[in-house]
Chain A
């Protein structure tokens, strides 16, 4: 087996690609500079008293940017599409594109469906009106699909923990020594310092992020909403107390908190589990109050919904906090065990994130509670919790959804930080932070183990940021 080059049979495209990239950068620079200097489009008075917009350097630069960007996009697409057909003949890029086939399919289907029905899909559909939002959504969904299909073993070429002899720190495209029948014959992005496949680890790492980040953010939102609404609505002493606690946590340097919570000694005391008991109770409280405040006057419906929702949540909650051989070990119906390290990571990320959510929700509630519809509900004699959860909360969903997207990105960064310091997650875990941490030790000699997870993390967080920006823009329009 020969080592793979980056583009293989498509190498003839490379010079063109390089030239257009240089042109794109140049056009961008000119575009920015002209827009700073010139005052935008200029109006020229004609002899007959009419006005025309004069063509100016900025418009020309704009055209240049659009053209070169189009060419770059077409060429990039060509690499990927031809890679799909040619596979490893089209080099590393082509081979990766072929491996990612499930992701591409899912993305194309999702976008085609969404754009077709975008008028009927509410805010989500409107997202497809904003280019920024579309790019962000595309990036996020790319990693979501990669994570899901990666977890189903459709993408990764090798076992993320498996070590192959002679592949230590090998450059991208190195063929496996003595690859067996049915085994993928190359390490597409090279091997790391323990001779594991960087590409497979990156793909598996996406799943690690997807497993924790959205769920941790959701829990943080539950905590923040459940505490922030009453703090903002009632005000007074409750508000002072809760705000003081939130500021207390916010003033704590995050890394110090992680170091204090995540050490094995602290885990042995069961402290993170007790924190989990408190923090994970909030979704239950939230759902219970949400249902009860709505159906308070119809006991039959009330009990039915409470039973339908709370029983499964309670079972999940108990098996989440109950763990054999730890401090909390009494519940017989334990469906699954969370490894100690993972639970700690989860708890500390929720703990760090919830005060910020609390502050946002509190601010929004304080703003909304002066509105007329809240006064109307008060006059109707609605209970306080009904007003908070069914009058105020639906009306602050816009900013909350936007912040949710941003916060998933932030949680991803936090998880990466934990991995970077080797805290909590198991050391061989393929998550991006740990992989970057592994790779950085030999960074000045071997770049390839650290760069793919770094770029992956950056693109996911960038996608989430752009998505949040697009959502904000679209939700402000109406």
Chain B
């Protein structure tokens, strides 16, 4: 088991390195750097001015070197001009003496996430606050989504072909067919529109960042939860119907165990193994939904930061965002693998 976790973690780290390098490479392509130089400097820069700006700010080095510096396995660049030193690990300019005391390595391994050109603050702070907002959103999404999806799935799967099954299955197909930007628009129209709607909820969640209430926070949570819910419910239903045809359920029936008892004591635990992995693997898609819903409801979280960083070519923020999301995705995969083994003792890892 220990070896398994170790090997999976190793693969995870390699994957994370590959993915961040791809993002690094894409964001550091010359046209992107040129755009960055022009937004940071001025828009009418000549090509030579752009080249010298990039040279001065350490962007002109080879991609691998820059990646190593960002990661913190290569010493950050320094540059001496007119007796003043600028460098990756130095804020602004410094005298040579000050520069000598500055740390040589400053990458994400050292905890230095860099500086966001869009928000003009450290990337670490942005990620922290934004991730906090999104974490809160996700918590409520999971609280709403997982139990209701499991209940729907179990209710539908315990009597295959019954009225409950057919209606709940149709419902879950409908929710999987409705992407967040469609259901969000429909919810706003029905529940929040100021002209014809019911005006039960607020159409934006901006206020929810300081003061989340049911009124301003329920719609975004519902929008994300619905899309994921259908899929989990269908998986739960499939695994529940399979379990309900198993031999031991028939035995329990023949023994005269009551139906609720069969479902709760005999079927449920075995039926929940498959949905567990599905829930974990659902995280990448939830991330997708978060980005859509946060821009739709104007909730300034992680997804919103991603959109802002990507549309302004904020390289360091974009990298940090991709690191976080890739790590989240890979961690959930790892947890799902390990949890699967724990839940299902029949599986042995050798």
> B179 in the interface, Cβ–Cβ < 8 Å?
yes
Bound-complex Cα distance A266 to B23 (A): 12
Bound-complex Cα distance A32 to B152 (A): 12
Judge whether B284 and A250 touch: CB under 8 Å. Answer: yes
Give the shortest distance, in Å, between A151 (CB) and chain B (any CB): 23
Which of B61-69, B129-137, B187-195, B342-350 has 4 or more CB atoms under 8 Å from chain A? Answer: B187-195
> Chain B contacts of A443 at CB under 8 A?
185, 188-189, 193, 203
Judge whether B189 and A465 touch: CB under 8 Å. Answer: no
> Chain B contacts of A266 at CB under 8 A?
26, 29, 31-32
Residue in B18, B182, B288 whose CB lies within 8 Å of A254 = B288
> A308 in the interface, Cβ–Cβ < 8 Å?
no
Judge whether A260 and B185 touch: CB under 8 Å. Answer: no
> Chain A contacts of B333 at CB under 8 A?
251
Interface size on B, residues (CB 8 A): 62
Given A253-B284, A253-B325, A444-B188, A413 and B167 contact (CB-CB distance below 8 Å): no
Judge whether A251 and B284 touch: CB under 8 Å. Answer: yes
Judge whether B19 and A248 touch: CB under 8 Å. Answer: yes
> A165 in the interface, Cβ–Cβ < 8 Å?
no
> B117 in the interface, Cβ–Cβ < 8 Å?
no
Residue in A40, A255, A259, A450 whose CB lies within 8 Å of B185 = A450
Residue in A259, A265, A465 whose CB lies within 8 Å of B35 = A265
Interface string of A248-276 (1 = CB under 8 A from B): 10111111100111010110110100000
Give the shortest distance, in Å, between A201 (CB) and chain B (any CB): 15
Judge whether A269 and B30 touch: CB under 8 Å. Answer: yes
Given A444-B188, A444-B192, A451-B185, A462 and B177 contact (CB-CB distance below 8 Å): yes
Interface string of B280-305 (1 = CB under 8 A from A): 00001001100110011000000100
> Chain A contacts of B203 at CB under 8 A?
443-444
Judge whether A454 and B193 touch: CB under 8 Å. Answer: no
Judge whether A253 and B173 touch: CB under 8 Å. Answer: no
> Chain B contacts of A36 at CB under 8 A?
155, 164
Given A251-B326, A265-B313, A271-B29, A454 and B185 contact (CB-CB distance below 8 Å): yes
Residue in B23, B173, B181 whose CB lies within 8 Å of A416 = B181
Bound-complex Cα distance A221 to B188 (A): 36
> A433 in the interface, Cβ–Cβ < 8 Å?
yes
Give the shortest distance, in Å, between B165 (CB) and chain A (any CB): 9
Give the shortest distance, in Å, between B282 (CB) and chain A (any CB): 13
Given A256-B322, A260-B26, A457 and B195 contact (CB-CB distance below 8 Å): no
> Chain B contacts of A271 at CB under 8 A?
26, 29
> Chain B contacts of A445 at CB under 8 A?
193-195
> B310 in the interface, Cβ–Cβ < 8 Å?
yes
Judge whether B196 and A251 touch: CB under 8 Å. Answer: no
Bound-complex Cα distance A413 to B179 (A): 7
Interface centre among A244, A256, A409, A454 (most CB of B within 10 A): A256
Interface string of B21-37 (1 = CB under 8 A from A): 01100110111101100
Interface centre among A244, A260, A433, A462 (most CB of B within 10 A): A260
> Chain A contacts of B295 at CB under 8 A?
421
> Chain A contacts of B189 at CB under 8 A?
443, 447, 450-451
Q: Is the interface of B mostly helix, strand, loop or mixed?
A: helix
> Chain B contacts of A263 at CB under 8 A?
32, 310, 313
Interface string of A221-252 (1 = CB under 8 A from B): 00000000000000000000000100110111
> B162 in the interface, Cβ–Cβ < 8 Å?
yes
Interface residues of A in 426-474 (CB under 8 A from B): 433, 436-437, 439-440, 443-447, 450-451, 454-455, 457-458, 461-462, 464-466, 469
Q: Output the nearest chain B residue to A439 by Cβ-Cβ distance.
A: B185
Judge whether B177 and A409 touch: CB under 8 Å. Answer: yes
Judge whether B306 and A259 touch: CB under 8 Å. Answer: yes
Interface string of A119-151 (1 = CB under 8 A from B): 000000000000000000000000000000000
Give the shortest distance, in Å, between A402 (CB) and chain B (any CB): 13
> Chain B contacts of A386 at CB under 8 A?
none
> Chain A contacts of B173 at CB under 8 A?
462, 465-466, 469
Judge whether A447 and B193 touch: CB under 8 Å. Answer: yes
Give the shortest distance, in Å, between B259 (CB) and chain A (any CB): 7
> B149 in the interface, Cβ–Cβ < 8 Å?
no
> Chain B contacts of A99 at CB under 8 A?
none
Residue in A35, A261, A416 whose CB lies within 8 Å of B163 = A35
Bound-complex Cα distance A244 to B18 (A): 11
Interface centre among B186, B310, B322 (most CB of A within 10 A): B310
> Chain B contacts of A39 at CB under 8 A?
259
Given A248-B15, A469-B173, A256 and B325 contact (CB-CB distance below 8 Å): yes
> Chain B contacts of A322 at CB under 8 A?
none
Bound-complex Cα distance A35 to B176 (A): 24
> A200 in the interface, Cβ–Cβ < 8 Å?
no
> B311 in the interface, Cβ–Cβ < 8 Å?
yes
Give the shortest distance, in Å, between B81 (CB) and chain A (any CB): 29
> A358 in the interface, Cβ–Cβ < 8 Å?
no
Bound-complex Cα distance A411 to B178 (A): 13
Give the shortest distance, in Å, between B9 (CB) and chain A (any CB): 14
> B104 in the interface, Cβ–Cβ < 8 Å?
no
Judge whether A35 and B192 touch: CB under 8 Å. Answer: no
Given A247-B15, A260-B26, A436 and B181 contact (CB-CB distance below 8 Å): yes
Bound-complex Cα distance A41 to B220 (A): 41
Give the shortest distance, in Å, between B170 (CB) and chain A (any CB): 8
Bound-complex Cα distance A469 to B230 (A): 14
Bound-complex Cα distance A202 to B31 (A): 36
> Chain A contacts of B31 at CB under 8 A?
265-266, 268-269
Judge whether B15 and A457 touch: CB under 8 Å. Answer: no
Judge whether A251 and B330 touch: CB under 8 Å. Answer: yes
Judge whether B163 and A58 touch: CB under 8 Å. Answer: yes
> Chain B contacts of A454 at CB under 8 A?
181-182, 185-186
Judge whether B306 and A255 touch: CB under 8 Å. Answer: yes
Interface string of A16-46 (1 = CB under 8 A from B): 0000000000001001101110011000000
> A193 in the interface, Cβ–Cβ < 8 Å?
no
Interface residues of B in 30-77 (CB under 8 A from A): 30-32, 34-35
> Chain A contacts of B310 at CB under 8 A?
256, 259-260, 263
> A385 in the interface, Cβ–Cβ < 8 Å?
no
Judge whether A461 and B185 touch: CB under 8 Å. Answer: no
Bound-complex Cα distance A252 to B186 (A): 29
Judge whether A252 and B19 touch: CB under 8 Å. Answer: yes
Q: Output the nearest chain B residue to A440 by Cβ-Cβ distance.
A: B185
Judge whether B288 and A447 touch: CB under 8 Å. Answer: no
Judge whether A458 and B177 touch: CB under 8 Å. Answer: yes
Query: What are 24 A-to-B residue pairs whose CB atoms are below 8 Å?
Result: A31-B163, A31-B167, A39-B259, A40-B159, A251-B284, A253-B326, A254-B288, A255-B292, A256-B23, A256-B306, A256-B318, A259-B310, A265-B29, A268-B31, A416-B179, A444-B194, A444-B203, A447-B189, A451-B189, A454-B185, A455-B186, A458-B177, A458-B182, A465-B177
Identify the A interface with B (CB < 8 A). 28, 31-32, 34-36, 39-40, 58, 62, 244, 247-248, 250-256, 259-261, 263, 265-266, 268-269, 271, 409, 413, 416-417, 420-421, 433, 436-437, 439-440, 443-447, 450-451, 454-455, 457-458, 461-462, 464-466, 469
Closest 4 CB pairs of A and B: A259-B310, A35-B163, A265-B31, A462-B177
* Seed contacts A251-B15, A420-B292, A461-B179; 16 additional CB < 8 Å A-B pairs: A252-B22, A255-B287, A255-B288, A256-B322, A260-B27, A260-B310, A263-B32, A417-B181, A440-B296, A444-B194, A444-B195, A444-B203, A454-B181, A454-B186, A455-B182, A461-B178
